Amino acid sequence: MTKVNSLPIGIFDSGVGGISVLKHIRELLPHENLLYFADSKFAPYGNKSPEFIRARARYLAGFLIEQGAKALVVACNTATAAAVNLLRENYAVPIIGMEPAVKPAAIVSKTGVIGVLATSGTLKSAQFAALLESYGQNVQVVTQACHGLVECIERGELNTPATKILLNTYLQPLLDAGADTIVLGCTHYPFVRKLIEELVGEEVILVDTGAAVARHLKRRLLQTDLLTGLDKPGQANFWTNSQSVCAKQVISQLWGASADTVILD
Ligand code: DGL
């Protein structure tokens, strides 16, 4: 093992949503050291311009690489659509992005109608149009931007009456259209999966890409000979620029354990 192998993996999102991906990475790669940056001061990205998101992504990638990241995961569908190509042009480390799981959803749907919950930034992107072009031809795809939902999750409100009412307004049109499969196309949404299940019933299949992203990351690290050789449990370190007094508490709540978090301005 070289020194590079023991370096950490850097992961970022517009906020705390990417922790849903981080958990899959931790499970699949228990010995890797993980660095997570929640850009919560600037969340949500969903309604920001692609230029703004590209500037944030460059800053976050640069920050994590400065901390020694040997690979990066853009644990955000919106930032991937806006910025992953730019990041790959600028940094030599492996960079894993993510996109809504339209392909697997189209395969499992029996009614031929799939719903996609995502941010408006993702839904408006050229990448999403290309995804529909490739995998959405034989199904009807009903999209739904979920304004306000990321903010609820950033506050740790995963099961409040207000979050439930908001979710219900976004899910009903998908159910009315006959969707039997719903894509959670934003990394924040797996944190309200239970509530979604409650609202749509157990017949409806929910798909997200967290586990697939972790598998892809593992494959890339194998191919590039960058997997860690360490055999002790890896550490996870968090940074957030959230202005909320509850920032650390929400990160630990979502991570499921006390999280070592540094608050930046
Ligand atoms: N978690 C992000 C995503 O996967 C973005 C949410 C937002 O900031 O709007 O798209």
Which domains does the chain possess?
A: 4-98+210-263 (3.40.50.1860), 102-207 (3.40.50.1860)
State the distance from the centre of ligand 1 to the C-alpha of 134, rounded, in angstroms: 23
The reported pLDDT for the residue numbered 54 is 98
How does pLDDT run across 133-192, given as a tens digit for each residue?
A: 999 999 999 999 999 999 999 999 999 999 999 999 999 999 999 999 999 999 999 999
Global pTM exceeds 0.85 = yes
Q: What is the mean pLDDT of residues 106-124?
A: 97
Q: Would you state the pLDDT for residue 200? A: 98
pLDDT value of position 260? 97
Q: State which of 49, 77, 149 you would mutate to test the pocket of ligand 1, scoring each by most atoms of that ligand within 8 A of its C-beta.
A: 77
For ligand 1, the distance from its centroid to the CA atom of residue 185, given in whole angstroms, is: 9
Judge contact between 91 and 65, C-beta under 8 A: yes
Distance 116 CA to ligand 1 centre (A): 14
pLDDT of residue 1: 54
Q: Which residues of 121-147 are buried (b: 16+ CB within 10 A; e: fewer)?
A: bbbbbebbeebbeebbeebebbbbbbe
- Could you list the active site residues? 76, 186
CA 230/CA 188 separation, integer angstroms: 30
Give residue 128 CA to ligand 1 midpoint distance, Å. Answer: 14
Tell me the best of 13, 41, 147, 242 to mutate to test the pocket of ligand 1, counting ligand atoms within 8 Å of each CB and taking the most.
13
Rounded mean pLDDT of 56-84? Answer: 98
Contact (Cβ atoms closer than 8 angstroms) between residue 189 and residue 92: no
Q: What confidence category does residue 99 fall into, taking pLDDT thresholds of 50, 70 and 90? A: very high
Ligand 1 binding residues, C-beta < 6 A: 13-15, 17, 43-46, 76-78, 119, 122, 150, 186-188
CA 91 to chain centre: 20
Of the candidates 166, 198, 200, the residue with the CA atom closest to the CA atom of residue 183? 200
Confirm if 113 and 180 have CB atoms less than 8 A apart. yes
Half-sphere exposure of 132 (CA within 13 A, CB side): 15
- CB-count burial class (<10 Å; 0-12, 13-18, 19+) for 155: middle
Ligand 1 nearest atom to the CA of residue 188, by list position: 1
Per-residue pLDDT reduced to its tens digit, 43-54 = 999 999 999 999
